Amino acid sequence: MEEKFINLTLKVWRQKQGEKKGKIETYQAKNISTDASFLEMLDIVNDDLTIKGIEPIAFDHDCREGICGMCGQVVNGYAHGEEKGTTLCQLHMRRFKDGDTVFIEPFRAKAFKVVKDLVVDRSAFDKIIQAGGYITAKAGGAPDANIFPVTYETCELAMNAAECIGCGACVAACPNASAMLFVSAKISHLALLPQGRPEAAKRALGMVRAMDACGFGNCSNERECEASCPKNISITNIARMNREFLSAGVCSTAM
Amino acid sequence: MQLNSNVPSGPLETKWDRYKFDLKKVNPANKRKFEIIVVGTGLAGGSAAATLADLGYHVKNFCIQDSPRRAHSIAAQGGINAAKNYPGDGDSVQNLFYDTIKGGDYRAREANVYRLAQNANNIIDHCVATGVPFAREYGGLHANRSFGGAQVSRTFYARGQTGQQLLLGVYGQLSRQIGLGGVEMYPRRDILDVVIVDGCARGVICRNLVTGEIESHSAHAVVLATGGYDNVYFLSTSGMHSNVSACWAAYKKGAAFANPCYTQIHPTCITVHGDYQSKLTLMSESLRNDGRIWVPKKAGDNRSPDQIPEDERDYYLERKYPSFGNLVPRDVASRNAKLACDEGRGVGNTGLAVYLDFSDAIKRDGEDVIRAKYGNLFQMYDKIQDEDPYKVPMKIYPAIHYVMGGTWVDYNLMTTRDGLFCLGGANFSDHGANRLGASALMQGLSDGYFVLPYTIGGYLATQSLADVNTSHQAFKDAEKQLNEKLNKLMNINGKRTVDDIHKELGHYMWEYCGMARNDAGLKEAIQKISALREEFWQNVNVTGTSKDFNQTLEKGYRLADYLEFGELLARDALTRTESCGGHFREESQTEENEAKRDDENFCHVAAWEYAGEGKDPILNKEPLVFENVKLTQRSYK
């Protein structure tokens, strides 16, 4: 597509640190290249605000290539914007038209408090992983890597789940602010691999408990999480998590 | 300054085992009494923090991002090397060692590189044990692919996101220790100073990025694993928050900085467009397994690639380097891309691109096979360039991707400051003047899982460290100094934004300290950087307040350090009048435009020592001794 330059009206959520309420402010984004990324568009707007003496819009970002999971905003009602399988940093301005009005808000959930403007606190995800999202292994005692064969298909399934970047879009998109897609991706990734089996029951129970304690909602099969996931994580992982959780609760001594 | 590498004597193959035996140990009950600060949660920092806590030490771990899972190791794509010889193509520890030393153009320490090659196999085993889903063959065993500078397949990979999977493995281990209380995690912190008491590193000063508070933290030892300084170029493939500030603070507190001019320009990155561009995106070297690099034979040929017949294309790497072909090391591939573009044979709107073409591989193996290997990379390319690489060749150009230079460390990974260690991409140790692909992940995990946990014990067991906490005057002084610096920055109220000045710095760095460097250009760079630094302190505009979540201020103090560091980089490049690896001095090249080393005068590590504000830094040299490999002109022909 040929490079063009467009003008947009931005409606951006501004919220000062420590304040419970924020409000929408209106800014103009002028002369934006359609080859620029969405975050680069915000950089240009922020430079403009700085020159005018207005504090720039705070937003999280780091790798800007769709893998670190740090960025994320709700753009026109969609987590990471409307384009499928895309993080916000991968969204490009060629998806917008000259004269568009664009609403930009933070990921909203009870468990994700707003820090400032578009920045939210997602440390609840870390707490869930700390409750079992790992395999216990000391550095030094591992057997040869080829000792457990894993079928090609199983490895692919585990990898599909392991691709989760922990951005929180699934939570922001869910009407219940459920974290089930995130939690199930980690449970699936490890449960599918032979080296993850010894702790599978303990892991499922621990992570689900932590998820509830952090204030995330329940799953009511809306499938919004899957639709918004930039890594196309499948909700079949939620089914697998439910099986792991059930069998852990019924069969296991790992309570 | 004394530079003692502490490399043990005796045969190369048994150095590390003997050294581990000789190291003093800390008994399990005593480990609990020691506090260790680890800065960074990438492959090196995260693995070190988790392993030290697992051993019983009390660890305080810091990172910039909101979660330790987001360190920039996560963006590594292609893979991690090991000499497992699973494909049965004759690989061995000796081979991996030799390829890495040669790839680094004989500017790394033999003993460090050999240890790295030895640890590589343990790394793969440990990563698999922690749940890393490396690619498998249909039979269920691990698959390998090839990378530049090697003639065997020794690279383990997880699609095009190996770094992500390795980092999530490390993050799992770290999370377990946080849950158990062995690691206290401090996210969203910038480390801005290192505190020295009685000559030893005893703590850090950091800024809490949420509240803006300046915090002091004390410990018995400090470990920096803060990654590379690529962003001195403004545009690089590094994360936006990557910075040199902690290592620069350490430099000013007595930790020498080694080989800053060794930067890696990666041949296959998505091309530059527009001055609003914020960063560059790598297309993994693994793509060179199946992609063929070419430009038109004729200069100025602007037909679309499908209109250029086979006999009018120049597959220049295959032509010039028949034995390595498209898999020559990065520095060689980058320089050749530049040469082709300089000859007017570059493609795309700017003429600053070459083709990376998959049509032969797709014809041979089918689109599905290519998708399974590189699907996510093709998707990334499509999103940025809006062009389908399954149908149209990728357009790529070299970009700053990695830096081999870093804080000087000895065999223990300790800097020239006692009690201050440096790991992974932040140190200088293992890659010489050019890093081979899939070796950065290997080094990070080797340092963190398998080297530091032993050597730091050796340090702690032999010291008698006084009780020091944050009420010590050294912490108060460092906090005061930092507050003054931040206040100064907040009160300039000039006319230029931080990014604007950073882009100008990046322009000078790329222009004069990029793929080709020369005497006049480097001298000019030093002058221009120095003038820009003055302008920064007169004319930068940092909005908001310092006691708040203030991203402009963060960028501002990181740039202030880059404006000092960039000059050291140029000075190092000016002093090293030879070419080696990624450091290409136009004055020193062979007739075929290859880097020409000067072993007589430059077979050493350049370790720069801080001499005080406004004074020229002091150059110290650590001679490189080669007992096991013969120094030759590198050839990949």
Contact A133 B175 (CB under 8 A): yes
At the top level of CATH, the class of A5-115 is: alpha beta
Which helix H or strand E contains B29, and what residues bound it? helix B28-31
User: What was the pLDDT predicted at A252?
Assistant: 61
Taking the CB of residue B181, how many other CB atoms lie within 10 A of it?
9
In angstroms, the separation between the Cα of residue B339 and the nearest Cα of chain A is 27
Catalytic residue among B330, B417, B571, B634: B330
> Quick check: is B385 in a domain?
yes
User: What was the pLDDT predicted at B397?
Assistant: 94
- Maximum average pLDDT range among A8-12, B324-328, B372-376, B590-594: A8-12
Instruction: State the best of B125, B162, B387 to mutate against chain A, taking most chain A CBs within 10 Å.
Output: B125
Contact B133 A158 (CB under 8 A): yes
Identify the closest residue of chain A to B42 by CA–CA distance: A68
Contact B277 A40 (CB under 8 A): yes
Instruction: State the best of B141, B155, B176, B388 to mutate against chain A, taking most chain A CBs within 10 Å.
Output: B176
3 state SS for A26-91:
EEEEEEEECCCEHHHHHHHHHHHHHHCCCCCCCCCCCCCCCCCCCCCCEECCEECCCCCCCCHHHC
Phi, psi of B19 (to 5 degrees): -65, -45
> Quick check: is B339 in a domain?
yes
- B481 close to A (CB below 8 A): no
Pick the closest to residue A114 from A160, A69, A63, A57 (CA basis).
A57
Contact A58 B168 (CB under 8 A): no
- Do residues B300 and B371 make contact, with C-beta atoms less than 8 angstroms apart? no
pLDDT band at residue B373, thresholds of 50, 70 and 90?
A: confident
Identify the closest residue of chain B to A48 by CA–CA distance: B497
In angstroms, the separation between the Cα of residue B16 and the nearest Cα of chain A is 15
User: What was the pLDDT predicted at B634?
Assistant: 84
User: What was the pLDDT predicted at B635?
Assistant: 85
For the segment B24-34, the average pLDDT, to the nearest whole number, is: 96
Give contacts of B171 with chain A, Cβ < 8 Å.
129
In angstroms, the separation between the Cα of residue A40 and the nearest Cα of chain B is 6
Contact B239 A68 (CB under 8 A): yes
Q: How many domains in chain B?
A: 2
The pLDDT tens digits for B244-255 are: 999 999 999 999
In angstroms, the separation between the Cα of residue A96 and the nearest Cα of chain B is 14
> Quick check: is B355 in a domain?
yes
Q: Taking phi first (over 0 means left), then psi (-120 to 50 degrees means alpha), and beta for anything else, what does residue B383 get?
A: alpha
Cross-chain CB nearest to A70 (options B66, B178, B453): B66
Give contacts of A126 with chain B, Cβ < 8 Å.
67-69, 175, 178, 185, 187
Instruction: State the best of B74, B84, B451 to mutate against chain A, taking most chain A CBs within 10 Å.
Output: B74
In angstroms, the separation between the Cα of residue A99 and the nearest Cα of chain B is 20
> Quick check: is B329 in a domain?
yes
The pLDDT tens digits for B104-146 are: 999 999 999 999 999 999 999 999 999 999 999 999 999 999 9
Identify the closest residue of chain A to B186 by CA–CA distance: A123
pLDDT band at residue B272, thresholds of 50, 70 and 90?
A: confident
Q: Which two tokens stand for residue B436?
A: 């081979």
B313-314: strand order across its sheet: B263-270, B394-403, B354-357, B292-296, B313-314
Beta strands in B162-262 (DSSP E): 183-186, 189-197, 200-208, 214-218, 221-224, 257-258
User: First and final CA of chain A: distance in angstroms?
Assistant: 57
Taking the CB of residue B224, how many other CB atoms lie within 10 A of it?
32
Cross-chain CB nearest to A146 (options B54, B86, B127): B86
Give contacts of B54 with chain A, Cβ < 8 Å.
138-139
Mean model confidence pLDDT for chain B? 96
In angstroms, the separation between the Cα of residue B142 and the nearest Cα of chain A is 7
Instruction: Report the relative pairing of strands B183-186 and B58-62 from DSSP bridges.
Output: parallel
* Residue B583 and residue B478 share a domain: yes
Q: Tell me which of B429 and B486 has the higher pLDDT.
A: B486
Pick the closest to residue B580 from B600, B598, B567, B554 (CA basis).
B598
Give contacts of B158 with chain A, Cβ < 8 Å.
159, 162
Contact A43 B499 (CB under 8 A): yes
Give contacts of B383 with chain A, Cβ < 8 Å.
66, 86, 90, 92
In angstroms, the separation between the Cα of residue A164 and the nearest Cα of chain B is 10
Phi, psi of A187 (to 5 degrees): -60, -40
Which residues have CB under 8 Å from B48's CB, separation 6+? Answer: B38, B223, B225, B423, B447, B448, B449, B452, B453
Identify the closest residue of chain A to B496 by CA–CA distance: A51
- Do residues B277 and B72 make contact, with C-beta atoms less than 8 angstroms apart? no
CATH label of the domain that carries residue B295: 3.90.700.10
Q: Which two tokens stand for residue B405?
A: 């230079």
* Residue B393 and residue B502 share a domain: no
In chain B, residues 398-457 whose CB comes closer than 8 Å to chain A: 449-450, 453
Contact B74 A63 (CB under 8 A): yes
> Quick check: is B87 in a domain?
no
The pLDDT tens digits for B287-318 are: 999 999 999 999 999 999 999 999 999 999 99
User: What was the pLDDT predicted at A1?
Assistant: 62
Residue B148 pLDDT greater than 90, yes or no: no
Kindly give the parts of chain A with pLDDT less than 70. 1, 252-255
ipTM over 0.95: yes
The shares of helix, strand and coil residues in chain B, as percent rounded to the nearest 5, are 40, 15, 40
Q: Give domain A122-251's CATH number out of 3.20.20.60, 1.20.1290.10, 1.20.59.10, 1.10.1060.10.
A: 1.10.1060.10
The pLDDT tens digits for B522-559 are: 999 999 999 999 999 999 999 999 999 999 999 999 99
Residue B461 pLDDT greater than 70, yes or no: yes
pLDDT band at residue B275, thresholds of 50, 70 and 90?
A: confident
Domain chopping of chain A, boundaries: 5-115, 122-251
For the segment B576-593, the average pLDDT, to the nearest whole number, is: 94
DSSP label at residue B594: -
Distance CA A27, CA A44 (A): 12
* Residue B271 and residue B396 share a domain: yes
Pick the closest to residue B37 from B211, B203, B244, B231 (CA basis).
B203
Domain end: B354, B375, B400, which one?
Answer: B400
Q: What is the pTM of this model?
A: 0.97
Give contacts of A55 with chain B, Cβ < 8 Å.
543-544, 552
Instruction: State the best of B61, B85, B123, B132 to mutate against chain A, taking most chain A CBs within 10 Å.
Output: B132
Identify the closest residue of chain A to B270 by CA–CA distance: A65
* Residue B365 and residue B485 share a domain: no
Active site residue B371: no
Distance CA B499, CA B234 (A): 9
Q: Which two tokens stand for residue A217?
A: 């909602």
> Quick check: is B44 in a domain?
no
Contact A56 B67 (CB under 8 A): no
Distance CA B339, CA B534 (A): 36
User: What was the pLDDT predicted at A154?
Assistant: 97
Identify the closest residue of chain B to A146 by CA–CA distance: B141
Cβ density class B553-589: b for 16+ within 10 Å, e for less: bbbbbbbbbbbbbbbbbbbbbbebebbbbbbbbeebe
For the segment B49-65, the average pLDDT, to the nearest whole number, is: 98
User: What was the pLDDT predicted at B460?
Assistant: 98
User: First and final CA of chain B: distance in angstroms?
Assistant: 41
- Do residues B542 and B553 make contact, with C-beta atoms less than 8 angstroms apart? yes
> Quick check: is B102 in a domain?
no
- Do residues B461 and B138 make contact, with C-beta atoms less than 8 angstroms apart? no
User: What was the pLDDT predicted at B273?
Assistant: 82
* Residue B394 and residue B275 share a domain: yes
Domain end: B400, B418, B433, which one?
Answer: B400
> Quick check: is B67 in a domain?
no
SS3 of residue A117 by DSSP: coil
Report the Cα B589 to chain-centroid distance in Å.
26
Cβ density class B268-279: b for 16+ within 10 Å, e for less: bbbbebeebbbb
User: What was the pLDDT predicted at A45?
Assistant: 98
Block residue for tokens 């959930």: A109
Contact B84 A142 (CB under 8 A): no
Domain that holds residue B539: 473-597
In angstroms, the separation between the Cα of residue A212 and the nearest Cα of chain B is 17
- B384 close to A (CB below 8 A): yes
Q: Which two tokens stand for residue A50?
A: 């700085």
Contact B75 A130 (CB under 8 A): no
* Residue B388 and residue B301 share a domain: yes
The dihedral through the CA atoms of A105, A111, A116, A119 has a sign that is: negative
Block residue for tokens 């690691």: B183
pLDDT band at residue B80, thresholds of 50, 70 and 90?
A: very high
Written as one letter, the residue type at B11 is P
The DSSP annotation for B368-416 comes to HHHHHHHHHHHHHHHHHH-S-TTTS-EEEEEEEEEES-EE---TTSB-S
Contact A155 B136 (CB under 8 A): yes
- Do residues B609 and B617 make contact, with C-beta atoms less than 8 angstroms apart? yes
Cross-chain CB nearest to B128 (options A37, A145, A163): A145
CA distances from B149 to B106, B290, B321 (A): 14, 15, 11
